Structure 1
Amino acid sequence: MDSITQALLGATVQASLLGRWQGRKALLYGAVLGTLPDLDVVIDYGDAVADMTYHRGFSHSLLVLSLLAVALTWLARRFRPDPNYTGTRLFLTIWLVLVTHVVLDAFTSYGTQLLWPLQTPPIAWSSVFIIDPIYSVPLLLAVLGGAIFGLQGRSPRWPSVALVVSTLYLGSTLAGKQMAEARTERVMAENGIERGQVFSTPTPFNTLLWRVIVVDGDDYYEALVSWLDDDEPELVRIPRGGQLAAVLADSPQHARLQWFTGGVLRYDQIGDQIMVTDLRLGMTGFHPFRFALAERNGEEWAPIPFVERSPAERGDMDRLKLIWNRIWHQQPALPLAEWAAELNRQ
């Protein structure tokens, strides 16, 4: 999730467990700890693909964060002891602030390596957009309430209530994901489309409208599914350029991207380069992670040894309004194929 939400979550967790004794300082301590796992963004891993796929790696490992919680607890008890609460309570607080950060990240589409150093694929439950106001607002209200009215000597009810509300909402997003995939798979069965790789994620800033991707060889389908739809979703077939993947057989960056994304990739030949796009993130036609992985010299293709992230458009308010309108109205259908084709012109 975004850094502001992670800071709010950390502050709320710490306030609910230690706010009675630490007062407003609990909000500050929790906010700082809550953003700690994301400090790996300052590390240069070598090139753009490495930076993307190693982010949310060791710093988001449950094992590493548990060991870090032990170390921070020992340091706090050694140099800043407080007789009002036990070391066990302090450890539990620090551990929860750190671990809730990475678990929340796993609910987004990016991919979080919770089990590092095991080389299992990143976990991406992809049931919330990276910015979700409905999740963040209860936490914000709790933090503002604690900052204004104080927490010292009080039973911290506001933070606890906010955590319950935001967690229940988070759980409800999994139901939306199930709904979107089930309705899409019914349409696939009716049209004789074999079930391949299916990936679903909410559209920007909401969990009412879902974007479902079905990888089908050299092509892929996209569908938009809203909780409020009366009719079955429309599957839009879009060229994926899957045949170009063979050119990247010797590219370690391509192998890394396939592992990281589960193969939800699109390939485009643009001029003398092969562009690879992570379809999971962003919105149709607006994907933030695109990389030129190979270039042609005469008739031969060769992998690009140092890969840079290609500039990507972020969309505009007019399209965001169209997406918002699609939540409530199934018609007119959004021009997904037209939007997807714009990737070739960017």
Structure 2
Amino acid sequence: MDSITQAVLGATIQGALLGRWQGRKALVYGAALATLPDLDVVIDYGDAVAQMTYHRGFSHSLFVLSALALALTGLLRLRPNPGYSAGRLFITLWLVLITHPLLDTFTSYGTQLLWPLTTPPIAWSTLFIIDPLYTVPLILAVVVGLISGLKDKTPRGPIAALTISSLYIAFSVSGKWMAEHRVEQQLSAQGIQVEAVFSAPTPLNTLLWRVTVMAGDQYYESMVSWFDTQPPALQAMPSGKQLSHVLQDSPQWHRLAWFTSNILRYDEVNGRLLVTDLRLGMTGFHPFRFPMAQRDENGEWTLIGYVEREPTYRGGAEQLRMIWNRIWAQSPELPLRSWAAPMGPNATAHREG
């Protein structure tokens, strides 16, 4: 999730557990500690694929953060506060730290909770990376706490905010199940052989869902809203999977395929092989796209040693307006094929907004 959400979540947790003793400082301490795992963004891991796939790694590990919480507890207890025990302090610091990667797992990016184990990143993908309905209750609790103070008070505000935000996550989980269930019914009815299904909420809401279905040399995109009354439409698009053989000797490709669970699209554009992570963003407006091979003067493919991230257009106000309208009305359907078309062979390096 975005840094503001992570900060106010940490502040609310520490305010709920230690606010009556630490007062307003609990909110400040919690906010600072909760943003600590994202400091790995300052590390240079190498090329663009490494920067993407090593982020949310060791700094988001439940093992590492649990050890850090224990170390911080020992350090802070050198000058103990008589109001609360070491156990309460440890639980507070531990929750502030581990809720950061746990919340990240509800987004589509992928979080390596069990690092250093090499299990695939976890992406439950029930929340968009920015979701005001999740964040606003936490912000209100922090603002009220800063204004009115928390010392010697029952932390009703922080507890209420955490309850509301947790119930919202539960609602997002039910939305994901709803969307996948409706699409899987259509897949079964049409006899489509499925390799993988990935679903995620559309920007800034959990009412409209995008479901991506990988099926060999093509993939299907479908939009599903809580308010739909008709079966979802499946829009087929080329996956370019047959081009993946070019990348069998590319360590970056293997790393990316592992990180994304192979939810990838391949396009040959202007003599370069572009690989797109289909999980993130919106159909046709995906933020992570990498040129990984190029044709030489003889027309043969050669791997690109240092992979850079391709500039992409992430959509604008017009696309957001259309997505908003699609939440409430199933017709007209979003022009997903049209949005995705510039990713293919006729694409240019930059798409105009």
**TM-score calculated relative to the size of structure 1:** 0.99
Q: Which amino acid aligns with 2:47?
A: D
> Match for 1:260: what amino acid?
F
Question: For residue 121 of structure 2, what is the aligned residue in structure 1?
Answer: 122
Name the structure 1 match of 2:68.
68
Equivalence for 2:183? 184
Letter in 2 for 1:333: E
Matched, 1:243 2:242: yes
- Contiguous gaps of at least 5 residues in structure 1: none
Tell me how far apart the structure 2 counterparts of residues 303 and 217 of structure 1 sit (CA, whole Å). Answer: 23
Task: Report the alpha carbon displacement of residue 296 of structure 1 after superposing the two structures with TM.
Answer: 1.0
Superposed, 1:6-155 pairs within 5 Å as 6-78=6-78, 80-155=79-154
* Whole-angstrom distance in 2 between the partners of 1:337 and 1:69: 48
Structure 1 residue 304 displacement after superposition: 0.7
Deviations 1:180-225 (A, max 9, x none): 0000011111111123200000000000000000001111000000
Partner of residue 338, structure 1: 338
Secondary structure of 1:5's match? helix
Mapping 1:311-330, distance limit 5 Å = 311-330=311-330
Deviations 1:92-130 (A, max 9, x none): 000000011110000000000001110000000000000
Q: Tell me the amino acid that sits aligned with residue 53 of structure 1.
A: T
Give CA-to-partner distance per residue, 1:271-295, whole Å, 9 cap, x none.
1110000000000111100100011
- The offset of 1:84, in angstroms, is 1.0
Q: How far did 1:299 drift?
A: 2.3
What code does the residue aligned with 1:340 have?
A
Offset from partner CA, 1:217-256 (integer Å, 9 cap, x none): 1110000000000000000000111111000011100000
Aligned pair count? 345
Kindly state the Cα deviation for residue 314 of structure 1 after the two structures are TM-superposed. 1.8
Alignment RMSD (CA, Å): 0.7
Please say if 1:292 is aligned against 2:291: yes
1:201-240 alignment to 2 at 5 Å? 201-240=200-239
Per-residue Cα deviation, 1:119-144 (whole angstroms, up to 9, x for no partner): 00000000000001110011011001
Question: Is the partner of 1:186 in helix, strand or coil?
Answer: helix
Q: Which amino acid aligns with 2:129?
A: I
Q: Report the Cα distance in structure 1 between the residues aligned to 2:247 and 2:7, rounded to whole angstroms.
A: 40
Whether the 8 Å contact between 1:127 and 1:177 is mirrored in structure 2 is yes
In the aligned structure 2, how far is the partner of 1:169 from the partner of 1:271? 45
Report what 1:167 is aligned to: 166
Deviations 1:17-52 (Å, cap 9, x if unpaired)?
000000000010000011000000000101110010
Secondary structure at 1:10's aligned position in 2?
helix
Task: Report the Cα distance in structure 1 between the residues aligned to 2:49 and 2:334, rounded to whole angstroms.
Answer: 31
CA distance in 2, matches of 1:176, 1:11: 28
Q: Is the 8 A contact 1:202 1:209 kept in 2?
A: yes
Instruction: Please list, as runs of the form range in 1=range in 2, the aligned pairs for 1:249-264 lying within 5 A after superposition.
Output: 249-264=248-263
**In 2, Cα distance between equivalents of 1:301 and 1:196:** 27
Distance 1:333 1:179 in 2: 19
Identity of aligned residues (%): 63
In structure 1, C-alpha distance between the alignment counterparts of 2:193 and 2:216, rounded to whole Å: 11
Structure 2: 5+ residue stretches without partners:
none
Give the match's secondary structure for 1:263.
Answer: coil
1:302 is displaced (CA, Å) by 1.3
| Per-residue deviation, 1:63 | 0.3
Counterpart residue identity of residue 48, structure 2: A
- 2:74 aligned partner, one-letter code: W
Deviations along 1:45-79, one digit per CA (max 9) or x if unpaired, are: 0111001000000000000000000011111112x
Give the match's secondary structure for 1:44.
Answer: coil
Whether contact under 8 Å (1:185, 1:195) holds in the other structure is no
- Separation in structure 2 between the aligned mates of residue 166 and residue 319 of structure 1, nearest angstrom: 27
In structure 1, the residue matched to 2:195 is: 196
- Opposite residue 31 of structure 2, the aligned amino acid is A
